[in-house]
Amino acid sequence: MAFTCTAEIKDSALDGWEVIGSGGFGQIYKARHRQWCCDVAIKLLHYDDGNSSALLREINMMCTGSSPFVIHVHGVFKGRSPSSGSSTQLGLVMEFMERGSLASLQQTLGGPPPLPLVFRLVHQVALGINYLHSLKPAVLHLDLKPNNVLLDSSLNAKLTDFGLAKFSQSFSRVYKKENNEEWGTLSYMPPEAFEISYSPKRASDIYSFGILLWSIVTGKQPYANVISSIVRFRIPQGDRPSLDEIRQKAAGRAGLATVIELMQKCWDTKPSSRPTSLMCTKVTEELFKMHKHCINDAVHLVLKELDKCEEERLTGQVQGLSLTQSATVSGVEGKTVWDDVPTGPPPIQEMAGVWTPKETSRSRVEGKEVKATTNRYTSSPVVVSVFQISVFFFRRVSKPSYERVSD
C-alpha cells in the first residue's frame, strides 16, 4: 500500500525517546527531532513487521489533506525503536501536542473549563469534523471522543487517531460486522452501529459529536457508572445522557439553551434527522462569537490551574525522592522533620465565571490545609540540596495522551 506522506524519518533523526501513551494498538512515543529541533510524537504498533497495512491505512487517512483542526502528520517513521530491538518498525510521526488530550484536561480540572473555552473547543472540533466530511471522498472519523481531541500549548483543539476512519465511498454497500466487532467507543456510538448490518455515514460522526458536545459542556463521561451491556441495549431504545445539569445552568448564561438544542438534534435516533457538519459548524461559530472577548482570560485561568497541578505533582515526586533516599542510606524510616526547606507561599486559585475547580483547589482558596501541598518534608539526616529540589520542582514534563481507550 502506498502512502501520500513523502517524508520518511529514520531512527537516526530522533533522540530522547519517551513513552507517553499505550493501548491495545501499541505505543506512542515522544522524541526530539535532531534536525528540526522540536518534539514529535511517534505512533508504533505492537508486533509490526515494518509493513503494517493498518498503520499505512491510517497514514493515508491523516495525510489526505491539511487543516488547523486536524493533527498534522510530519511523515513516516521507518527504523528501530527502543522497544523493537534489531527489527524495523513502521510508524506515524505527528506533531506533539503539549497539553495532552481533552480527556486529561477534564480529569485534571475535575469538571468543565470556563464557558468561553468550552465554546471554542466545541467550535474547533466541529471545524475538524466539517473539514473531514468536506473532502472528496469524505473521511469518516468514527471514533470521536475526548481522548481523540488533542490540545496544543494554548488549548486549541485538533482531531487525532484515525485508526477507525474510513472513506465514505467504501460504504456504498451495507457492511456486515463480524462477531464482537464494533465501530468506535461504546458510549459515543450511534444507535445504528449496534445493528447487525451497519453502513457508517457522515451522520454517524454527527451523533458522536453530539455526545462529545455533552461531555465538553459537563466535563463528564457519558454513562460513566452504567455497565456496557445496558448501554448497548438502551442507546438503540433512545436513552441519552441527562440534560438536567445543563438546563439548571442555562438560565442567564448565553448559548447554553442553543447547545442543548444542538445536542438533541445531533443524537437523534434517525440518521436522516441529524444536522450536517456544516450546519453544526455554523451554530458553534455563533456560540463562540458570544464569548470570544473572554477567551484569553479563560485560557490563562485554565493554564494556571494546569501548571499548579503539575507543580503539586512534581512536589510529590520530590517528597517521595527524599523519603526514598532516607530509607536507602539509613535503612530506617526518617525521623527528622525539616522545617527550613523553602517552598514559598501556596498558589492562590483565581475564581472566574462559572468554573468550579476541583476540591483541592477550592480548599486552598478557602485557606484550608491541603495535605498534598504541605511544606513539611520528612527525611533522615541526609541533606537534600535546594538546587536538587528546585530542579525537580520547576521541571515541566508534558505527556499528552494519544492512546485509544476502549470502553
Catalytic annotation present for 11: no
- The set of cell numbers assigned to 275 is 444536522
Show the CA angle centred on residue 22, arms to residues 18 and 28, nearest 5°.
45
Looking at the DSSP bridge assignments, the partners of residue 15 are 32
Helix, strand or coil, per DSSP, at residue 322:
helix
Residue 315, CB-side half-sphere exposure with 13 Å CA sphere = 19
Entry field: residues in the chain: 407
Among 350, 354, 343, 349, smallest CA distance to 364 is for 349
CA 83, 85, 91, 144 dihedral sign is: negative
Residue 282 annotated as lining a ligand binding site: no
CB atoms within 10 A of CB 152: 15
Q: CA-CA distance, 217 to 331, in Å (whole number)?
A: 51
Beta-bridge partner residues of 154: none
Catalytic residue among 11, 48, 143, 161, which?
143
Helix count (H) and strand count (E) of the chain?
A: 11, 14
380 to 36, 268, 331, 335: CA distances (angstroms): 45, 63, 10, 6
Q: Which residues line the annotated binding site?
A: 43
Please list the active-site residues: 143
Q: Which residues line the annotated binding site for ATP?
A: 43
